[in-house]
Chains A and B, each alone.
Chain A
Amino acid sequence: MVAKRIIPCLDVNEGRTVKGINFVSLRDVGDPVELGAHYAREGADELVYLDISATHEGRHTFTKLVERIASHINIPFTVGGGISTMEDAERLLDAGADKISVNSAAIANPAIIDQLASRYGCQFVVSAIDAKLTEGGRWLATTHGGRRLTDKELFAWAHEVQERGAGEILLTSMEHDGVRQGYPCDLFAELCSQLSIPVIASGGAGSIQDIADVLTKGQADAALAASIFHYGTYKISEVKKALAEQGINVRI
């Protein structure tokens, strides 16, 4: 049985790790390579590095940093933020990234998923979706850190990226991100039951039980969290031990 994955997410700005509450208030929490290596030693299954400044400031992603990460870390890592062209993706692949996540670029040009998947394989393509619950109860995909609503209904869009060749979906609920009150498990359960590709649950972990819930009730394949790890609320080893005690299959 494939293990449920615990993935710390490192938001990177100007080469330094930060984490914002709802993506707005940023706070510097360290060197991305040091922090990533620390998490890997603690038992992180993968790492995600997001260049959070890239999308709305048009900043180029962080190739040099990715090279350093690749040479120091022996577990898989995904990079995202501001990837809008095949050239961006190729540059990050060459720098050593195992996967890239695309979000706004895929909304603007869905065919980029087909192109990335056919050139580099679906395992390379993570489709990140930032979803927001709108009036009337519809979940819509957003861009620009949740500030812009799109016309893409979450479930239809998730099916579309799967058909186009995305290897995984990284779903963040903008309602829950950064507030540490738990993941929306019903939403994840519905999405996971509809899709055949793995779903990573992101945004909202405040406790170990929140993570346990999204992996069981929410049926997610992996849980991504930032604050609870960056601020030392829990160690990854501690989280995995607690999950194992609840009978959840994790790599220890």
Chain B
Amino acid sequence: MIAIIDYKMGNLRSVKNALYKLGAEYTVTDDPAAIIAADKVLLPGVGYAGQAMANLSERGLMEVIRGLRQPVLGICIGMQVLCRYSEEGDTPCLDVFDTDVRLFKAQEGLKVPHMGWNSISNLDSKLFKGVDEGSYVYFVHSYRPGLCQDTIATSNHGSLFSAALKYENFYGTQFHPEKSGDVGEKILSNFLAL
């Protein structure tokens, strides 16, 4: 059973649809016991980092998530809250991944939000088994995690940033695998196979 953590950060339908297509059984929950008991945990989310942390805190989920031992996948804001800190709302985060999340620096010609398909490189994890270097995935974000020892994929928008991170059983993707066509489905199916 996969637990999709529902902490009221955006719509979960696309994540649910993607898991359904892959034949995975899932439950949508904010119940700590159900999350702890799940085989795998998904932490999706779209919105503001400060709000995301507040919503996790209200539900008593900060320590629950940090203590998980099964594979966990954070997507977009769900990945950012697993980092040390987010510049968005000056927000201390869960401190699983060894990096901070910062606003894309304004540069001539650089569009923010970073929206659309970008390529991922330096793929270094079972999460990317069967995924080619330079594959395109779908991003929508204005803040990005820096490079660090936990980086397992990079992308470039003005400068290099972490497109995916891993620390022990925790995985995170800044992009949206559930919206990234066949490549995204492959990545999700790799996560389900961990």
Contacts and interface: CB of A to CB of B under 8 A. Distances in A.
A74 B13 CA distance: 12
Contacts of A75: 138, 179-181
A209 interface: no
A75 B118 CA distance: 14
A11 B48 CA distance: 32
Of listed B10, B13, B21, B106, residue having the most chain A CB within 10 A:
B13
A1 B156 contact: yes
A235 B63 CA distance: 51
Contacts, number: 88
A96 B157 contact: no
A74 B116 contact: no
B115 interface: yes
A40 interface: yes
B94 interface: no
**Interface range on chain B (Cβ under 8 Å from partner):** 35 or more
Interface in B102-127: 106, 111-119
A187 to B, nearest CB: 18
Contact of B118 (A2, A70, A76, A123): A2
B113 A167 contact: yes
A5 B11 contact: no
A248 interface: no
A93 interface: yes
Tell me if B's interface is mostly helix, strand, loop or mixed.
Answer: mixed
Interface string B158-192: 00000000000000000010111110110000000
B60 interface: no
Contacts of B112: 196-197
A168 B115 contact: yes
Contacts of B10: 120-121
B11 A96 contact: yes
Nearest to A97: B11
Contacts of B115: 2, 123, 167-168, 198
Contacts of B17: 70-71, 96
B131 interface: no
B113 A251 contact: no
A119 B142 CA distance: 16
B118 A1 contact: yes
Contact of A40 (B113, B142, B178, B181): B181
A218 to B, nearest CB: 14
B85 interface: no
Of listed A71, A123, A197, residue having the most chain B CB within 10 A:
A123
Given A1-B157, A94-B13, A251-B136, 9 more contacts: A1-B119, A3-B136, A5-B117, A70-B17, A74-B181, A120-B10, A120-B47, A123-B140, A196-B111
Interface of B: 10-11, 13-14, 17-18, 20-21, 46-48, 106, 111-119, 136, 138-142, 156-157, 176, 178-182, 184-185
Interface of A: 1-3, 5, 40, 45, 70-71, 74-76, 93-96, 98, 120-124, 167-168, 196-198, 221-222, 251
26 contacts: A1-B119, A2-B116, A3-B119, A40-B181, A70-B17, A71-B17, A71-B20, A74-B21, A74-B178, A74-B179, A74-B180, A74-B181, A74-B182, A75-B179, A75-B180, A76-B140, A96-B11, A96-B17, A98-B14, A121-B10, A121-B46, A123-B140, A123-B141, A124-B46, A197-B112, A251-B117
